[in-house]
Chain A
């Protein structure tokens, strides 16, 4: 199945990526080639099979085990470009609707 430029744009939007216009055509071609290749799976008889679940055999799901280790807030924040007073700083999230 081929992907066109509009489709690349749609998925890039979902993935929060911006593909430069001059790279768009090439990306569409490359993704289409991979999708064409994976279509080979259609040759396998898979109808009777259940999809694999995340947890592989031998690693049954279990409850999280909490311990009392803590990373101090200042240390956790220190890797961020911008932080202030114990918070991560980001650009405005909502417009000021009631100035």
Chain B
């Protein structure tokens, strides 16, 4: 394969060629920029900080991800690029340290090729709430890529890089992965370090991975997972071994809570889900049908817990230590208030207000404590489900990618686009969305699978079966099938 075509390779195939000396590191790292970025980036706008000199500075030839370009979401700290959470309040901020996930990527040989666009402070489901403007979906430029990690998802979809990092507090990796036709993994809470991930909802936040191939997800997971002395909430002990991702699904059972999509879900999404389930059955898995607690309760609990945590975490942005500062403030109180009012966008302000309300005197018991009791109830629901099956199947999102502007004026409608993903964050369990085809209009269709704590190996086995059987997949002379690339229209 010629160097310019290297962007089509999986991350593991790319790294093998770099280690073997068949492909120069520079050609591996720059392939996406020289190729598909020229076609797509000006319209998609997935990247918010890029620097050819920073890309050229790293020339790793060893490691499981040697020479693999990776786009990192703009809320994950990097010393070589700004980290602004797509917010005016962090304009120009360059952290003095790398996030642990970034140092582990670099140690594995990967090269950070830039920072990906996102909803401001990861609050949103469409990547429209960004101070840099929206990212667009490469499968239809009039539609959103999902969010909040829309930039990294779109970049992997159009071919800038085979891997990207996002963060998932309520579905912000799985939902954009579904909208952009790529794999998106949210690991078990505590499996990836949060050190250097700018905090939104600390009990919910996890860094996640975007990839085009299950094998790449496994390689990236193995490089990133494990305890970190710098994050007290990482799980102690070794991370589960995901090297058996090719083992198939014979003997596994999957839960099928069909009551969740009886209404309010696009029929094409349901069709994709049913086809995927049938494929898993043909591959030796067993379906177990049962009812599950409706997702509205998760959304309700989430928008109290997440906003309460956000109102506390975002108190640190006051204009004193970093980022934007209001120029004209007579006293400290005015400095805080003016900096925050001009620095935060409307959705972030809305969520800070909601969280402040839920925690304020007189309302704490009625809202915050009730939500935390509901969270216990939701965790019990998942525990009971996993006593009956190895993993759960459900949609990743209730709709196909929606149009830009369609939900931006209606916060509640936007919140409900996370109805299938939020539960995993409340329960701390892993979730993976997998592309399974294209809709009649050519938009990506996806399914989501959820596992018990440390259930990543089972999720990857199921994903590999769906990937290999993908009816829209086409072989490109590689040992792994490809999902249909977006085409310019």
With contacts A51-B372, A52-B375, A56-B189 known, what are 17 further pairs, Cβ within 8 A?
A7-B357, A15-B352, A17-B337, A19-B353, A31-B350, A34-B411, A37-B412, A39-B300, A50-B376, A52-B373, A52-B379, A56-B203, A57-B453, A59-B235, A75-B96, A79-B93, A81-B319
Listed by A's residue number, 23 A-B pairs whose Cβ atoms lie within 8 Å are: A3-B357, A16-B333, A17-B340, A19-B341, A33-B412, A37-B299, A41-B300, A41-B371, A46-B373, A51-B375, A52-B203, A53-B372, A57-B453, A58-B454, A67-B230, A71-B96, A78-B96, A79-B93, A80-B322, A81-B319, A91-B331, A93-B331, A93-B332
Q: Establish whether residues B373 and A56, one from each chain, have CB atoms under 8 Å apart when the complex forms.
A: no
- Write out the residue numbers on chain A whose beta carbons fall within 8 Å of the beta carbon of B332: 90-93
- Write out the residue numbers on chain B whose beta carbons fall within 8 Å of the beta carbon of A88: 320-321
Q: What band does the interface of chain B fall in when counting residues whose beta carbon is under 8 Å from A?
A: 35 or more
Q: Establish whether residues A15 and B356, one from each chain, have CB atoms under 8 Å apart when the complex forms.
A: yes
Chain A residues engaging chain B, CB cutoff 8 angstroms: 3, 7-8, 11-12, 14-19, 23, 27, 30-31, 33-35, 37-42, 44, 46, 49-62, 64-65, 67, 71, 75-76, 78-82, 88, 90-93
Q: Which of B297, B304, B356, B372 contacts A14 (CB 8 A)?
A: B356
Q: Digitize B306-325: 1 where CB-to-A-CB distance is under 8 Å, 0 elsewhere.
A: 00000100010011111111
- Write out the residue numbers on chain B whose beta carbons fall within 8 Å of the beta carbon of A71: 96-97
Q: Establish whether residues A91 and B334, one from each chain, have CB atoms under 8 Å apart when the complex forms.
A: yes
Quick check: is B233 within 8 A (CB to CB) of the other chain? yes
- Write out the residue numbers on chain B whose beta carbons fall within 8 Å of the beta carbon of A35: 357, 367
CB distance from B366 to the nearest CB of A (A): 8
- Write out the residue numbers on chain A whose beta carbons fall within 8 Å of the beta carbon of B315: 16
Q: Establish whether residues B428 and A56, one from each chain, have CB atoms under 8 Å apart when the complex forms.
A: yes
How many angstroms between the C-alpha atoms of A27 and B350 in the bound complex?
A: 7
How many angstroms between the C-alpha atoms of A52 and B375 in the bound complex?
A: 6
Contacts A40-B296, A65-B229 given; does A19 touch B325 at CB 8 Å:
no
Q: Establish whether residues B190 and A56, one from each chain, have CB atoms under 8 Å apart when the complex forms.
A: yes
How many angstroms between the C-alpha atoms of A31 and B304 in the bound complex?
A: 12
How many angstroms between the C-alpha atoms of A51 and B337 in the bound complex?
A: 33
CB distance from B486 to the nearest CB of A (A): 34
How many angstroms between the C-alpha atoms of A41 and B358 in the bound complex?
A: 14
Give the interface SS of chain B, mostly helix, strand, loop or mixed.
Answer: helix
Which B345-361 residues have C-beta < 8 A from chain A?
346, 349-350, 352-354, 356-357, 360
CB distance from A28 to the nearest CB of B (A): 10
Q: Establish whether residues A18 and B337, one from each chain, have CB atoms under 8 Å apart when the complex forms.
A: yes
CB distance from A26 to the nearest CB of B (A): 10
Residue of B nearest to A79 (CB): B322
Q: Which of A12, A34, A55, A80 contacts B233 (CB 8 A)?
A: A55
Quick check: is B303 within 8 A (CB to CB) of the other chain? yes
Q: Which of B235, B299, B354 contacts A31 (CB 8 A)?
A: B354
Q: Establish whether residues B338 and A31, one from each chain, have CB atoms under 8 Å apart when the complex forms.
A: no
How many angstroms between the C-alpha atoms of A51 and B353 in the bound complex?
A: 22
Q: Digitize B282-306: 1 where CB-to-A-CB distance is under 8 Å, 0 elsewhere.
A: 0000000000000011011101100
How many angstroms between the C-alpha atoms of A88 and B203 in the bound complex?
A: 31
How many angstroms between the C-alpha atoms of A10 and B139 in the bound complex?
A: 45
Which B53-112 residues have C-beta < 8 A from chain A?
93-94, 96-97
How many angstroms between the C-alpha atoms of A25 and B350 in the bound complex?
A: 13
Residue of B nearest to A38 (CB): B300
How many angstroms between the C-alpha atoms of A45 and B320 in the bound complex?
A: 45
Residue of A nearest to B413 (CB): A33
Residue of B nearest to A93 (CB): B332
- Write out the residue numbers on chain B whose beta carbons fall within 8 Å of the beta carbon of A78: 96
Q: Establish whether residues A34 and B354, one from each chain, have CB atoms under 8 Å apart when the complex forms.
A: yes
Residue of A nearest to B311 (CB): A15
